[in-house]
Structure formats: C-alpha cells, structure tokens
Amino acid sequence: MATLITGVASLFFGRKKAEKVCLGVLMITAVLSAMLFYHLSVTHTSFTFTMGHFPAPWGNELQAGPFESLMALSFIIVIILSLMTGRERIHADITAPKQGLYYLLCSLLICSILTLIYTDDIFTAYVFVEVNMLAACALIVVKDTKATVLATIRYLVLSLLASGLILIAITMLYAITGHLLMSDLLLSMTRLAETGEYAFSIPVVILLFSIGLAVKSALFPFHTWQPDAYESATTTTSAIMSGIVSKGYIILLLKIFYRVFGLEFTHNLHIVDWLFILGLLGMIAGSLYAVRERNTKRMLAYSSVAQIGYIFMGIGLSTDIGMVAACFHIIAHAVTKPLLFLSVDGLMEVSGRSKDVHELHGAGRRNILAGIGFSVGALSMIGIPFFSGFVSKLYFVQGSFSNPDKMLPTLLVLALSTVLAAMYYIPAIISIYHSDDTRSYRKKRFKNSWNYSIGIICFILLNFVLGIYFEPLIEALELGLSIF
C-alpha cells in the first residue's frame, strides 16, 4: 500500500524529491519485509489478513508466509540496488520532465509484484498482472526512441493476448466454483477431483493459466518480445525487468498450482510435464541465440530466456528438491542478471557507448569495478562454484535424481546449457580484459560515481553470499514451500 501511495504522490514531486521518496519507502518496506520474514521463519507459521474485515466475496485477503516474505524481500532489495546503481543512466536516457514519472512507474511496478506475491484472491491477482504489464511497458517506452516504441508495442500485444487467456481462465474458474479466494477454490477443486465433475473444463483452465503466465514470463517460445525490450530500454529498466518482472508471474503460477488446484492434482494432469519440455527447449534455444549475438545487451536478454527455462525445468521435475531449486534460481537470477546489465553499462561508458562485445576490448581495465561485476555475473550464470548460479544447478541435479523418468534429459540439457553459456560468457570476459587502447576514449581510466560503486559491490557480495552461505536460504525455501 505504501508503494502504491508513493507512486501516486510522485506525480506532485520534482525529480529529486520523487527519487528520494521512492527509495526511502522502498528501504522502509525492505526493513519491514525482513522483520516479517524473520518472524515467520522462526515461528514456522503463516497468517491471513482480511482487508477491510469483510468476508468474501466483498472482502479481499492477503496471505504471508516465509516463502512470500522471502521473495518480497529479495525483489525489493533488487529494485533498490538497480535504481541506485543505474541512477546516472536514468538521468542520461530520460528527459528531465519524465524522470519523476520513472520513479512513479517503479513504485507501481513493485507494488504490483508484491501484490502478486501476497494476494489470496485470484481476480485481484489479475488486476495487478495488468498493472504490472502497464508499468513495465511505460518503463520501456519512457526512453522515447523509435526502438523503445516498437519494442513496447510488441511486448504490449503479446502481453495483452496472454492477459486474455488468464481472464478467460478466471471466468471459467468462477463459473465452475463460484469462488475467487484461493483457499475456497482449493476446497472446491478437491471436491471436484473426487467426484470427477468438469473433467474437461478444469484441465483447460490450468492450461490457459499456464500459457498466459508463460508468455508474460518469456518462457520459450513465447520470448520474442524480450530481446528488443531489454536492448532498447534504458539499462536500469533492463536490470529491473530481467531481475524481478518475469519472476512475479512465475510466483503467481506457483500459487495457482499450490493454492488453487493443489500440486498433486496439477501433476496428475501432466501440465507441468509440458512446462518441463518447454523449459528444456528454452535452456538450449536461449543459449544458442546468445552464442551468436555480438550485441551484449541482446546476449544478456537471450541468456535470460535460458535462465527462465531453468526455472520452469525445475518446476516440471515434479519433485520437492526441484521446486526448491527453481525458487532458489528465481532469487539467484534476480541478483545476478541486474549485475550483468549494469556492469555492461559501465563497460559501454568507457567504450563510446558501443554495445558490440568486440568494441569492449580493454573496458574491464578502464572501468575496473564494472569489469569485476561482469565477470562475477558471468561466472555465476555459467555455474562456477562459490557463485549463486552453481547452487541452483547443484540442486537441479539433485532434484532430477528424485525423478528417474526425467533424470537423463535434465542432466544432458544442464550439461549442454552450461557449455553453451561458457561459449558466450568466457569470450566476453576475455574481450573486456583484452588490451586495445588505440582510440582516444580508451586511454583513460573511468571513475564511477559512489552510488554506482556501492550498488555493484552490493550485487557482487549478494552473489557470493548466495553461492557460499546458501544452506539457510535453502532451509527457508523448504519451510516456506511446505507452508505455502
């Protein structure tokens, strides 16, 4: 609620005040989320808050447990660091009158994502899916170039089609059950599963939800909007969208599987098997696209397609460990991909703003912190030990052992995807440290601003923390999913 009010209030502030208020409220929200996560983790409980104290269908409910509070805390930290690190890029790419609007949109975006995480009402979730989409579109197009307009139109068209599928699914669900609260829907679904009623309609509803949210989260082959959007938008927007926007939709899909239909019922319908196949295909296709890219921002965008595939592959394993691995990878990717985008922006700053990986020769020497940040993020995405990406892959492997039918394709695709990731990240690391000082702008060492330096250092530390001290987080996810 605070982020929503802040967003609206930003309309009446100047750019500097809007920035301070937005970051201030986000920091307060982060502290409160941390306190909530600690309390729920220690007590091993969750709670339901009825808004307005009105029962359904007039009232609305929020449900918070260790899983929800952990995800909320992670996403808030990511958007705070992204805004702080990319502050100069916001000022450079966006005209002064629109800079205050940018912070308004960020407030609306995080408000919608937090609502998707906490809401227990399926229609409220749909409303904020649309808020999330509109805020994301505006964050792309606010740069106001021909490329961002075209990218936004493509994203908007595909996202609206996906929204239509989700709305049809909600309409059918309400017609079948007469409920919108997830807790009531789960009771109805349990009864219908026992009686065998609506044996055709219910799988159609789950399929519509899955396709709609897969399109919005850029799962292959529904990823076509993503590379243009990430490349053309200001780097701060690319960092925020790659870090948290698509993850909010995935968490909503998990809530639908767990709290609306029941995980066992969903598995029996084999919907997750199709998500597993698409996840594997996405891991390979995204990496293949990235290998042939010379544009660094598009390379990172296609890498995100592969990483989204990892998450859906983990969900599709249909094992507890696989689900934990998928949720851990949501957090690991959320803190790693913004680091890569923001580090690339620092490398571009000392390379004539060129996006071509071959034009970044020596950029890691001229901007040392950006070079370190890119290297850390790249090694994490490859899956090198002591980085967050390694932990995800380790648990994906363990999760595959619990499902012999899917073990072999999982291990093969994991290995192939890792090799492909090394094929485009390792040459990029070599390129940024390869000495080439023949041009005038390449002869000086760049000094970063304090906020950029602090942001990149925080992202790097988070990556090491997740890669080394991961066991408490894994335990928290196991607890949260058991209560979820």
pLDDT at 77: 92
Range of the domain at 398: 271-484
**Averaged over 21-44, what is the pLDDT?**
88
Structure confidence by residue, pLDDT tens digits, 184-234: 888 888 888 788 777 788 888 889 999 999 999 888 888 888 888 888 888
Question: 258 in a domain, yes or no?
Answer: no
Q: To the nearest whole number, what is the mean pLDDT of the chain?
A: 85
Q: How many separate domains does the chain show?
A: 1
Residue 118 CA to residue 134 CA, distance in Å, equals 20
- Helix residue spans in 48-197 (DSSP H): 66-85, 87-93, 96-118, 122-141, 146-177, 182-195
**Assign residue 383 a region: left if phi > 0, alpha if psi is -120 to 50, beta otherwise?**
left
Residue 374 near residue 428, CB atoms below 8 Å: yes
Question: 312 in a domain, yes or no?
Answer: yes
Helix (H) / strand (E) element for 49: namely: strand 47-51
Residue 466 near residue 473, CB atoms below 8 Å: yes
Question: 176 in a domain, yes or no?
Answer: no
Sequence-distant (≥ 6) Cβ neighbours of residue 16 within 8 angstroms: none
Question: 33 in a domain, yes or no?
Answer: no
**Averaged over 160-175, what is the pLDDT?**
91
Q: Which residue has the higher pLDDT, 17 or 429?
A: 429
**Averaged over 26-39, what is the pLDDT?**
91
Question: 98 in a domain, yes or no?
Answer: no
User: Which pair of structure tokens corresponds to residue 169?
Assistant: 């699914």
Residue 392 near residue 384, CB atoms below 8 Å: no
**Averaged over 4-32, what is the pLDDT?**
73
Query: Which pLDDT band holds residue 325 (cuts at 50, 70, 90)?
Result: very high
Residue 352 CA to residue 360 CA, distance in Å, equals 9
Q: How many CB atoms lie within 10 A of CB 194?
A: 8
Question: 160 in a domain, yes or no?
Answer: no
Question: 168 in a domain, yes or no?
Answer: no
With a cut of 90, say whether residue 365 has pLDDT above it.
no
Residue 473 CA to residue 237 CA, distance in Å, equals 27
Residue 181 main-chain phi, psi, to 5 deg: -70, 135
Residue 483 CA to residue 323 CA, distance in Å, equals 14
Helix (H) / strand (E) element for 243: namely: none
Sequence-distant (≥ 6) Cβ neighbours of residue 369 within 8 angstroms: 346, 448, 452, 453, 456, 457
Question: pTM (2 decimals)?
Answer: 0.91
Query: Which pLDDT band holds residue 404 (cuts at 50, 70, 90)?
Result: confident
Residue 119 main-chain phi, psi, to 5 deg: -65, 145
Residue 424 near residue 306, CB atoms below 8 Å: no
**Averaged over 447-469, what is the pLDDT?**
89
Residue 353 main-chain phi, psi, to 5 deg: 60, 20
Question: 310 in a domain, yes or no?
Answer: yes
Structure confidence by residue, pLDDT tens digits, 260-309: 888 778 878 788 888 999 999 999 999 999 988 888 888 998 999 999 99
Residue 83 CA to residue 484 CA, distance in Å, equals 30
Helix (H, G, I), strand (E, B) or coil at 420: helix
**Averaged over 96-110, what is the pLDDT?**
82
Helix (H, G, I), strand (E, B) or coil at 119: strand
Which residues lie across from 64 on neighbouring strands? Answer: 47
**Averaged over 393-403, what is the pLDDT?**
88
Cis check: omega of the bond before 66, within 30 degrees of 0? no
Sequence-distant (≥ 6) Cβ neighbours of residue 383 within 8 angstroms: 389, 390, 392, 393, 418, 421
Among 400-404, 442-446, 458-462, name the one with the lowest average pLDDT. Answer: 442-446
Residue 118 near residue 72, CB atoms below 8 Å: yes
Residue 47 main-chain phi, psi, to 5 deg: -145, 160
